[in-house]
Chains A and B, each alone.
Chain A
Amino acid sequence: MAGDFAVETHGLTRRFGKFTAVDGIDLRIPRGKIYGFLGPNGSGKSTTIRMLCGLLEPSAGEARVLGHSVPREAETLRRKIGYMTQSFSLYADLTVSENLEFMAEVFTLPSARREARIQGALERYFLKALRQQRAGTLSGGQKQRLALAAATLHEPEMLFLDEPTSAVDPQSRRDFWDRLFDLAADGTTILVTTHLMDEAERCHGLAIISGGKLAAEGSPQDLMQHIDALVLEIDPKDPRKASDLLRRQPYVKSVTQIGNHLHALLKKDTRDGVRQVQALLKQEGVEAGVRETHADLEDVFVASTGSGEAGDDRAD
């Protein structure tokens, strides 16, 4: 197997009874990059990650992680990967350092390296002052740092992060991402799931997953540049009426209201989109400024999934 890709899957599928959570996903994730899975809750992100870690058995298709076929070689793989679960899964009734010591022992780090790794992790993740504190009493951001410290203690080649920042404030999230870039710079491949656009935008590569299928793939910049839609920004006097009108047009894919603006995605082959929309609104007596604009990631997401929002609250 070529060493270029950290993860390679072909037709990866997972069914739960009659429900297909992951439906034939083909992926190639390069080494040393931060790669994001963007999709709403319940889209199959976590299920995919769990299959790649060997936690779930695929119903069909195959997957290789760091050159190991999963789940067959999952046991060998376990020493090379780190996994951060969606909810905090270290021991709440153990202290910060006890949790790290436990993980170090479980990964049987040589005792000489063990102390250095634990001390290094305590410093790198600003946990030194919290050393003697029980993990259960930490704040959301502190728990996240501890979980990352524990997941990277054995210097894994690949790190799986399942919605790592869902319970964290924006400042902690930024700090957390700085740490991820540090890790990537050291050569760690990182696979992270998210439903947050600002997080997705920071990834080197991105897979948009919707309904268990791969809806789009590429770097965030590529995805935004090559969006399969014409993006208009509309500034109407009466946004409600304008959006109702636009939604009824066959060439309009979606309309999103942002404050007093509207973001409209038109089919890519729409001719003279700007003028058509201007004419329509004028005819209906809605005064509006209309101009073409750059797509943002949310537009990409909407255009490729046909769904209005990324963060709907269906359970995973």
Chain B
Amino acid sequence: MLTDSLRRIRAVAAKEVRQLLRDRLTFGMIVGIPLLQVILFGYAINTDVRHLRAAVADMAGTQLSRSVVSSAQASQVVDIVAVARSAPELETLLRDGKVSVGLYLPPDFDRLAMSGTRPAAQLMVDGSDPTLLGVAQGLAKLPLAGRYQPPRSVPATLFEMRNFYNPERRSAVDIVPALIGVILTLTMVLFTAVAIVRERERGNLELLITTPVSTVELMAGKIGPYIVIGLIQVSIVLLLGWLLFHVPVVGSIATLYLSALLFIAASLGLGLLISTLAKTQFQAMQLTVFTFLPSILLSGFMFPFDGMPAFARWIGEFLPLTHFIRLVRGVLLRGASLSGMWVDVWPLLAFLAVTMVLAVLKFNKRLD
């Protein structure tokens, strides 16, 4: 009986692979999605913002004011691309989006700077892009050059910061491991959901359910190939991350693949569940996107998890991607072990169990 069952699972899996190889677009996506995403996200997402376009209105025109402008330029945070002659002109440049930052140095800049009682210059920032604000705040702390130090003593910093695991503060090092999770979420959930719904839509299921194939066999056979595809995608992302962005692999590769396998299984479970709810491939895609967005936004991939309000964090804890991102960063960058990160392992196991049970219960081997 067991060998019969395995034969049927193998038959379904072999058929699935054949169909997949013939469907060039889908096959292209398996390789194309990780390739494109690693390159796009790896290069585009850079939290270390530099070279903001800036305009200067230096009303003082003194040696001191000029040195402030040139040290701002030297910091590389801003590129001074325009010179304004008045404050309103500076505002216009800012409003029209020609620059993101405006430096205003008033006519009595020297006197104000020397007195040190209140800020001597004004920094205008385009707050419509929140990421710029933080950057500009750094700029505001720019020290005055050399001998013009204000008389008030600056308190020494309490802590000296040491950056572990990503000393150069490169975004790609954080992004690429998390990207494994994002790509798997998208492709694994979508492929399984669509693969089963397609069978229903094209009428194949009506035939299959009069054969001895059982629900579990059908699902196992359909899922099997996608597990392999998921692991291929993991390898593509890792390889590209290492080649293009020098993402380090501190932990063991075996542990990494094991956690990826766990996450793939959880995603496939979700895909299966979606396939039992959706009637058409279009619905399956919509449902996938519906689950994909919160995953991206609330998992800590886009925004720092600890910075989110309690409610959002609470939702985030239910998403497999949240736990996988912690796992993969832990394993890849810090060399953590799965037993050490058990708090993020068991939620994935629980998610897998719940979705699988629901999917098998919901999947009717009848038409009604």
Interface residues of A (CB under 8 A from B): 50, 53-57, 71, 75, 78-79, 81-83, 85, 87-94, 98, 102-103, 105-108, 160
- Provide the main secondary structure of the chain A interface: loop
Main secondary structure of the interface of B (DSSP, over half): helix
Chain A residue contacts of B207, Cβ below 8 A = 83, 85, 89-90
What residues on A are CB-neighbors of B214 within 8 Å? 75
**Least CB distance, B281 to chain A, in whole angstroms:** 15
Measured between alpha carbons, how far is A106 from B4 in the docked complex, in Å?
9
Distance of B14 from chain A, by nearest CB (Å): 8
Complex alpha-carbon distance, A105 and B11, angstroms: 6
State in angstroms the CA–CA spacing of A54 and B7 once bound together: 23
Given A87-B203, A89-B202, A54-B210 contact (CB < 8 Å): yes
Cβ contact within 8 Å between A54 and B8: no
Given the contacts A56-B366, A57-B366, A108-B7, A91 and B15 also touching, CB distance less than 8 Å = yes
Q: Is B209 an interface residue (CB 8 A)?
A: yes
Asked if B19 and A50 sit within 8 Å, CB to CB, the answer is: no
Most buried by B among A56, A79, A108: A108
Looking at the assembled complex, report how far the CB atom of B200 sits from the nearest CB atom of chain A, in whole angstroms.
11
Contact with A along B352-368 (1 / 0, CB 8 A): 00000000000000111
How far apart are A110's CB and chain B's nearest CB, in angstroms? 11
Q: Which of A87, A90, A92, A106 has the most B CB atoms < 10 Å from its CB?
A: A106
Chain A residues whose CB sits within 8 angstroms of the CB of B211 once the complex forms: 78, 103, 106-107
Interface residues of B in 204-248 (CB under 8 A from A): 204, 206-214
Q: Are B4 and A108 in contact (CB under 8 A)?
A: yes
**Does B22 sit within 8 A of A, measured CB to CB?**
yes
Residues of B within 8 A of A81 (CB): 210
B141 within 8 A of A: no
Nearest CB in chain A: distance from B218 CB, A = 10
Q: How far is the CB of B12 from chain A (nearest CB, A)?
A: 8
Which one of B10, B22, B209, B368 has the greatest number of beta carbons of chain A within 10 Å?
Answer: B368
The answer to whether residues A94 and B8 also contact, given A54-B366, A71-B366, A87-B203 and a CB cut-off of 8 A, is no
A98 to B11, CA, bound (A): 10
Contacts of B366 in A (CB 8 A): 54-57, 71
Residues in B neighbouring A56, C-beta threshold 8 A: 366-368
Q: Which residues of A contact B210 (CB under 8 A)?
A: 53-55, 78, 81-83, 160
A106 to B208, CA, bound (A): 9
Q: Does B160 reach chain A (CB closer than 8 Å)?
A: no
Contact A88 B367, beta carbon cutoff 8 Å: no
